[in-house]
């Protein structure tokens, strides 16, 4: 990551999505994002608590920032 911090966008939308989410896989991504964006957790601490690598956390952040909620959903396999 070259030491760059990636800011999580639309944190207020994130909270609304988290409250309404029923898909467990998407909810876990939203929990990670919310911990960093709204509760002051470092990427490292949030990744550790959520049981994922920091690189996965960065992928989720980038997907949220570029694609929004839809970017967090699992893509259908063909």
pLDDT in tens, 9-60: 999 999 999 999 999 999 999 999 999 999 999 989 999 999 999 999 999 9
Q: At 4, is the pLDDT very low, low, confident or very high (cuts 50, 70, 90)?
A: low
> Do 9 and 64 contact (CB within 8 A), yes or no?
yes
pLDDT tens profile 58-68:
999 999 999 99
pTM for this prediction? 0.86
52: in domain:
yes
53: in domain:
yes
44: in domain:
yes
43: in domain:
yes
Task: Give, to the nearest 10 degrees, the angle between helix 24-39 and helix 11-20.
Answer: 140
Task: Give, to the nearest 10 degrees, the angle between helix 54-67 and helix 24-39.
Answer: 90
3: in domain:
no
Number of domains in the chain: 1
1: in domain:
no
Q: Is 56 left (phi over 0), alpha (psi -120 to 50) or beta?
A: alpha
74: in domain:
no
Around 74, how many Cα atoms within 13 Å sit in the side-chain half-sphere?
Answer: 9
75: in domain:
no
Domain that holds residue 23: 11-69
């Amino acid at each position: 990551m070259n030491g760059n911090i990636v800011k999580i966008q639309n944190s207020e939308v994130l909270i609304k999505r988290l409250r309404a989410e029923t898909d467990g896989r998407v909810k876990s991504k939203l929990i990670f994002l919310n911990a960093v964006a709204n509760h002051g957790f470092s990427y490292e601490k949030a990744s550790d608590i959520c049981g994922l690598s920091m690189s996965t956390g960065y992928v989720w952040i980038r997907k949220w920032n570029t694609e929004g909620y839809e970017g967090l959903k699992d893509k259908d396999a063909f």
